[in-house]
Amino acid sequence: MSVIYDRVALIGLGLIAGSMAHAMRDGGLAREIVGYARSAETRDIAREIGLCDEVFDSAAEAVKGADLVVLAVPVGAMGDVAAEIAPHLKPGATVTDVGSVKQSVIDAVAPHLPEGVHFIPGHPLAGTEHSGPRSGFAGLFRNRWWLLTPLPDSDEAAVQRLTGLIVAIGAKSDRMDPAHHDLVLAVTSHAPHLIAYTMVGVADHLRRVTDEEVIQYSAAGFRDFTRIAASDPTMWRDVFLHNKEATLDILGRFTEELFMLQRAIRMGDGQQLFDYFTRTRAIRRGIIEAGQDTNAPDFGRSGETKAAKE
């Protein structure tokens, strides 16, 4: 592989940015990778493990001379960071982000960026329940989708260059309208996360079942809920506050479906339950056929992270 960007600045040094750094270094895709994180502790760890070629103490310093700037901070912080770095961006630079919500990020970031800087919002559909600068690994994006939501006036050459980087680090790229992205992610990610948080919260509050029983006898379904609910709380707080309409729409539909299933159980309507579960089972088959998960025992998850890192 060849160099795609001379200097890449990572603003935020958690799982996604860290994995990008590892993947770009492994592939020789950037001549220099620099970074910044709000927390001094995170910056110190990033320096200790050599995550970047240089870690700066301010975002403004980090973006100077960068061809690509990646905003990898919580969605609620995007606007403030954009305002801080805007005067220091190199003419012709590309700015992208990795936020799970797109329309609110566009509204927060775009007004701050100067003429001649290319803003191409993005969202890699990859992650684990781990966070922080030590959590990243080069294989995180392998065979995962990385959605881009270019603006109407986005420079096509800049979009193609960013797409080239995404593909080079192992992901599959697609483009989507920002509002449609937010609706799709409300279905596939945001609402499921909220439901997982809720189910774990129910277990926490159900006094007839002890904490020890919940932990000791946790079945696979509940274990998956806890895995999802272990995700970064700041990130998910911001996701729900910034994708409010789409998430509430999907949760309303979820509630209607739940009431229907409650009635079927109460009435002993086994046929309705069987038919419903048969239809929904097909979605799981489709996910496996698309290569977005595995049908190995225990969903393949006992060795999932190890395999991805290899």
Residue 139 pLDDT: 95
Percent of the chain with pLDDT over 90: 68
Q: For the residues 211-238, what does the mean pLDDT come to?
A: 76
What pLDDT, in 10s, does the model give residues 193-206?
Answer: 888 888 878 777 77
- Bridge partners for 69 per DSSP: 9, 95
Q: Are residues 141 and 289 in the same domain?
A: no
Structural domain of residue 272, as residue ranges?
Answer: 180-309
Residue 217 pLDDT: 66
Residue 70 is given by DSSP the state E
pLDDT band at 220 (very low <50, low <70, confident <90, very high): low
Q: Are residues 33 and 159 in the same domain?
A: yes
- This prediction's pTM: 0.83
Q: Is 96 within 8 Å of 69 (Cβ atoms)?
A: yes
Q: Are residues 160 and 185 in the same domain?
A: no
Q: Are residues 164 and 139 in the same domain?
A: yes
The domain boundary residue, chosen from 145, 176, 207:
176
The domain boundary residue, chosen from 148, 176, 204:
176
Predicted confidence (pLDDT) at residue 299 exceeds the cutoff of 70: no
Q: Are residues 152 and 274 in the same domain?
A: no
pLDDT band at 290 (very low <50, low <70, confident <90, very high): confident
pLDDT band at 308 (very low <50, low <70, confident <90, very high): very low
Q: Are residues 141 and 260 in the same domain?
A: no
Q: For the residues 95-119, what does the mean pLDDT come to?
A: 97
Predicted confidence (pLDDT) at residue 188 exceeds the cutoff of 70: yes
Number of domains in the chain: 2
pLDDT band at 309 (very low <50, low <70, confident <90, very high): very low
Predicted confidence (pLDDT) at residue 64 exceeds the cutoff of 60: yes
Q: Are residues 21 and 147 in the same domain?
A: yes
Q: For the residues 7-25, what does the mean pLDDT come to?
A: 97
Q: For the residues 243-259, what does the mean pLDDT come to?
A: 92
Q: For the residues 19-38, what does the mean pLDDT come to?
A: 97
CA-to-CA separations, 21 to 80, 148, 167, 184, in angstroms, rounded: 23, 19, 15, 28
Residue 186 is given by DSSP the state I
36 phi/psi in degrees, rounded to 5? -150, 145
**Lowest-pLDDT range, 85-89, 100-104, 156-160, 225-229?**
225-229
Residue 305 pLDDT: 44
Assigned token pair, 296: 């190995």
Give the C-alpha separation, 44 to 56, whole Å.
Answer: 10
CATH code of residue 172: 3.40.50.720
pLDDT band at 303 (very low <50, low <70, confident <90, very high): very low
The domain boundary residue, chosen from 127, 156, 176:
176
* Lookup result for tokens 């990130």: 235
Residue 301 pLDDT: 52
Q: For the residues 254-260, what does the mean pLDDT come to?
A: 93
Q: Are residues 14 and 89 in the same domain?
A: yes
Predicted confidence (pLDDT) at residue 261 exceeds the cutoff of 50: yes
Predicted confidence (pLDDT) at residue 304 exceeds the cutoff of 60: no
Assigned token pair, 159: 């979009």
Q: Are residues 135 and 196 in the same domain?
A: no
What pLDDT, in 10s, does the model give residues 40-61?
Answer: 999 999 999 999 999 999 999 9
CATH code of residue 299: 1.10.3660.10
Q: Are residues 40 and 154 in the same domain?
A: yes
* Lookup result for tokens 């966070």: 131
Q: For the residues 203-218, what does the mean pLDDT come to?
A: 70
Check the CA dihedral 150-1-307-294 and report its sign: positive
Q: Are residues 210 and 246 in the same domain?
A: yes
Q: Are residues 167 and 188 in the same domain?
A: no
